[in-house]
Every structure is written in C-alpha cells, then in structure tokens.
Amino acid sequence: MTSTDTKMKKIGVYTSGGDAPGMNAAVRSVVRTAVTNGLEIMGIIQGYTGMIENKMLPLQMRDMANIIQRGGTILKTGRCPEFMKPEYRKKAADFLRAQGIEALVCIGGDGSFRGAQALATEHGIRVVGIAGTIDNDVYGTDDTIGFDTAVNTALSAIDKIRDTADSHDRIFIVEVMGRNSGFIASHVGVAGGAEEILTPENIIPVDKIVEKLKESRARGKTSSILITAEGQKPGRAYDLAEAIRKKSGLDAKVCILGHQQRGGSPTANDRILASRLGYAAVQALLDGKSNIMVGVQYGRLVEVALEDVISKTKEGDKHLIQLARALSV
Ligand code: ADP
Ligand code: F6P
C-alpha cells in the first residue's frame, strides 16, 4: 500500500522513557519502511521534550546506516513531566501540525503510550506504539525491545559473580533493574541458577530467606546467588544483606548491576523484534489505523488497543520464580 491510499504524507517517530537496546533497530525499520512507501518522516528528538520544544529533523534512508547494532537511541530519549499537562500536549500538537506531521510512531514503555494515547484522543493525531523498554512490563506483547539484551547483560555479570562466590563460599545478592516489575529478575534468576528471586510481585520475608540459606548450607551448598529487582520492597539489596546478617550471622555481598543493563549492542532477538515491529507499525499507519500498539504474542505479530495496553497489567512470571526455587536444591 502506498501513502496515497490514505493521503498520509508525513509522519514522526520518537523514542521515550528509558532507553533500550534495539530502539535504533526499530527507528531504522520505521524510517526505511516509511520512505519506501513514499512518506516523509521526521525524527523527534528526546521524546515528548522534543515535541513541545519543536526539536525534530528529517530522516532519510542513509541516515539509518550502521545503527542496527548500536545500543541507546540516536533520537535521544527522556522523561518529560510537562507532558502530563494538557496545555503542553496542545503545544506539542500545534508544533506537529505546523510541521505537517499527521501520525506518529511512539517507541517506549507504557508511560510513553499514555502520552501518545492522550495526544491522539485530545488532538486527533494518529499514533501507533512499539514497546521498547528493558522491563518487559507492557501488557499485550510477550516481549519488549531491549528486554532480551538486558537479561543477557545481567546474566553475563552473574556468571562472573558465580566464580567469585564459589571460590570464597559466599552468598551474593544481585540487584537487577525493574522499578515496578520483576521480569528481568525472574528470567535472570532462572538462567543464572539463583536460589531465590525477589520481585515487587514476590515479596519474601527475610526469615524465610534465612531459613532457605541455612537449609542449603546444611545440604552442602557453599555459595548462593539471590536475585532482587530494584523495586522489591521493603528494602533493596543492601538492606536485605544487612537483615540476613543480623538474623543469621551469614555475610552476604551485594552487587547492584544498574544502568549497564540498559546499554550495549542489542542481541539478535532484539534486533529482529525491533525490525518486525517497526515495519508493522508503519504498515498499520498506512492502513489508516491508530491508537494501537504492535506487539508479539506466541511469536506472531498482533495489534492491541492502546487503551488496553495502558489500563491492563501484564502478569508476572510466577512460574519462573517457582522453577528457580525448585531447581536450586
Ligand atoms: P516508559 O515509557 O518507559 O514507561 P515513563 O513512565 O517515564 O517511561 O514515561 C515516559 C514519558 O511519557 C513521561 O516522561 C511523560 O512525558 C509521558 N507520560 C507518562 N505518563 C503520562 C500520562 N499519564 N500522560 C501524559 N504523558 C505521560
Ligand atoms: O524503565 C526502565 C528502567 O531502567 C527501570 O528498570 C528502572 O527502574 C528505571 O528505568 C530507571 O530509570 P532512570 O534511568 O531514569 O533512573
């Protein structure tokens, strides 16, 4: 289908919220699909900040060379509290209209989709979302861009920690990212052979953890890895280590993996996902669609209403947490 079928001439693309490896591969896919279909495309810089400050630039085929393998986002990203206010969304919509931009591809997490949905509902600008966040906490898609890379980055750190944990017969608490969700923790925990996984959805009392560690030692285990998501409450990794020390006398070392999980070259899985979703997003706009997110379910491309994406919560991976526990005997 060409752009003349929908009379759409010009679209915009932006990345928003926390950056995620594979966002560049998604931008590349969006831009090349758009240009191939005769559309002009503007790259909006720094998410909603660029939209309200009119920071954007035209993107061409060749601008997309050599970015598929790069982490971060060439369009920059950001968190823009002003966009919560209707007057700033109006300012953004006015800028977009002045530039002749009729539709947008938003690459970000559920917060970014809330902004996109508001823009669409209040100002009639068509939007299609692509889930890009290392947290994987977006309803309606099994995978988000960046999650696979973040899990593998954390895993390679944990493999190294295992060596020293084993050499010194130590307990390690490794804190992974995930302010509000435990997807990274549960995946990394199973793949890294963790003894326990603590997530915002899986709060385990310290007494239980201590009991488990003592049992493990009694069974002959000499080292243990505990994974905690940063959102785990009460207490993050250092508090947990202190509580374990107080209750059991066991010394637990802490390693906070932090923002290294957000960077680095995207894995093949993330590049493929990003390429599929970028293509699908532009096709959806060309088909006249709006207020949807393109995602994957059971390996297939799907379109999900943005309303559902932002109002529903993706279920956590309880089964993975149970699996890690069952296998760490
Ligand atoms: P993510 O998109 O990764 O979930 P955030 O939650 O930080 O990241 O959201 C990114 C940006 O989206 C915010 O900084 C803000 O500009 C915009 N946003 C988030 N929630 C809303 C909302 N309810 N209404 C309008 N804009 C929003
Ligand atoms: O949403 C991605 C994420 O990396 C979360 O896992 C983390 O809690 C948060 O962003 C950190 O955000 P910032 O880099 O803005 O501190």
- 38-67 pLDDT, tens digit per residue, is 999 999 999 999 999 999 999 999 999 999
Q: Is the CB of 115 under 6 A from ligand 2?
A: no
Q: Is the separation of the CB atoms in 45 and 77 below 8 Å?
A: no
Query: Can you tell me which residue has the tokens 């060409």?
Result: 2
Strand 196-198, strand 224-229: pairing:
parallel
Q: Which of 19, 110, 135, 148 is catalytic?
A: 135
Q: Is the CB of 175 under 6 A from ligand 2?
A: no
Q: Is the CB of 79 under 6 A from ligand 1?
A: yes
Q: Tell the CATH topology of 148-263.
A: Rossmann fold (3.40.50)
Buried b or exposed e, range 288-309, using 16+ CB within 10 angstroms: ebbbbbbbbeeeeeeebebeeb
Q: Is the CB of 310 under 6 A from ligand 1?
A: no
User: What single-letter DSSP state applies at residue 165?
Assistant: H
Domain residue extents for the chain: 10-146+266-311, 148-263
CA 179 / ligand 2 centre spacing (Å): 7
Residue 298: its pLDDT value, please?
98
Q: Is the CB of 109 under 6 A from ligand 1?
A: yes
Digit-coded pLDDT (tens) for 2-19: 444 447 999 999 999 999
Averaged confidence pLDDT in the chain: 95
Residue 203: its pLDDT value, please?
87
Residue 269 pLDDT greater than 50, yes or no: yes
Residue 234 pLDDT greater than 50, yes or no: yes
5 classed as catalytic: no
Q: How far, in whole angstroms, is CA 268 from its chain's centroid?
A: 16
- According to DSSP, the residues that pair with 138 across neighbouring strands are none
Q: Looking at residues 77-86, what average pLDDT do you find?
A: 97
Q: Which CATH class is domain 10-146+266-311?
A: alpha beta
Domains 10-146+266-311 and 148-263 share a fold: yes
CA 14 / ligand 1 centre spacing (Å): 13
Ligand approaching nearest to the C-alpha of 310: 1
Q: Is the separation of the CB atoms in 211 and 195 below 8 Å?
A: no
Q: Is the separation of the CB atoms in 69 and 41 below 8 Å?
A: no
Residue 32: its pLDDT value, please?
98
Index of the ligand 1 atom closest to the CA of residue 89: 25
CA 97 / ligand 2 centre spacing (Å): 31
Buried b or exposed e, range 97-107, using 16+ CB within 10 angstroms: eebebbbbbbb
Between these two residues, 180 and 197, which has the higher pLDDT value? 197
Q: Is the separation of the CB atoms in 247 and 196 below 8 Å?
A: no
Local structure of 129: helix, strand or coil: strand
Taking CA atoms only, the protein residue closest to ligand 2 atom 15 is 18
CA 18 / ligand 2 centre spacing (Å): 6
- 66's CB contacts (< 8 A; 6+ apart) are none
CA 17 / ligand 2 centre spacing (Å): 8
Of 143, 76, 137, 148, nearest to 111 (Cα)? 137
Share of the chain above pLDDT 70, in %: 97
Distance in angstroms (rounded) separating the CA atoms of residues 4 and 221: 67
Q: Is the CB of 17 under 6 A from ligand 1?
A: yes
Between these two residues, 86 and 235, which has the higher pLDDT value? 86
Residue 180: its pLDDT value, please?
87
